[in-house]
Amino acid sequence: MREFLCLLTLPAALSALVPHRGASRFFLDTADEAEWASLLPLGIFHGVTTNPVLLQRAGVECTVPSCHHLARRAFDYGAAEVMLQAWGGSADALVSCGQALSGGDERVVVKVPITAEGTRAASVLGSLGIRVCLTACYASEQALVATAVGAEYLAPYLGRMDDAGKDGRAECERMEAIISGLGGSTRVLVASIRHVDSLARLAAAGLDTFTFSPAVARELFEVEPLTTAAAAEFEAAALAAPELVEEEELEMVVAA
């Protein structure tokens, strides 16, 4: 017992307690700082994703200085990466905006739409050492483009593909297969996820990178009422006999 307690005081033992998420990367899809404060401390998120629509919903101006401030706040909350979306109707405008958004910070990933102009911009940004996510992906064939240009992320819209009459899940799985078949390293960052079940099914199929809303994040902890009931039972038992627990702990220390 004493040897075990001593080990717990060692820095090496403490470092072993750092969470290890494996290959997965979960992102919180919102620009709302109040949601970051509530959900990022859970420790399950690698970072946050934003776009002009999410900025608008959160009351944040779609300007480079506002995005820089937002990124700094996200890092303060513990985000390892922040995705900011460039705007501009041409490749040159997207490159200029993307450079400004990146600001030389390797933790910032610049999002551009997977159009011809966006892909051209992605190619230039990548050559400048800026991390890129090709977004607004609606077809599995677009994974060919993302892999060929060397984008770090490709963001398909699961729910919106379903809305358009496509099989969103099948499209995402095929994107993953295409990238693997080409020997690429692009991550399929599944977005527009509306239910935890969709998240679980895609994860079971081998996808490991997702961005989802605060509502879906909370659903992860509401999906199984039996868990809530069991936790409440544990707490009730702990509070019911504190003296007995203290006596048992004392006996363990003496025995050690």
Active-site residue list: 111
Sort 14 into a burial class: Cβ within 10 Å, 0-12 / 13-18 / 19+.
exposed
Residue pair 207/179 in contact (Cβ under 8 Å)? The answer is no
Which residues contact residue 64 at a Cβ distance below 8 angstroms, ignoring those fewer than 6 apart? 97, 100, 101
Match 């006596």 to its residue by tokens.
Answer: 247
Q: Which of 236, 234, 191 is nearest to 209 (CA)?
A: 191
Question: 3-state DSSP call for residue 176?
Answer: helix
Q: List CB contacts of 173: < 8 A, sequence separation 6 or more.
A: 202, 205, 206, 207
Burial of 9 (0-12, 13-18, 19+ CB in 10 A): exposed
Q: What type of residue is 248?
A: E
d(Cα 124, Cα 93) in Å, to the nearest integer? 12
- Name the percent of the chain in helix, strand, coil, to the closest 5: 55, 15, 30
Chain centroid to Cα 89, Å, comes to 27
Q: How far apart are CA 27 and CA 46, in angstroms?
A: 6
| H or E segment to which residue 191 belongs | strand 187-193
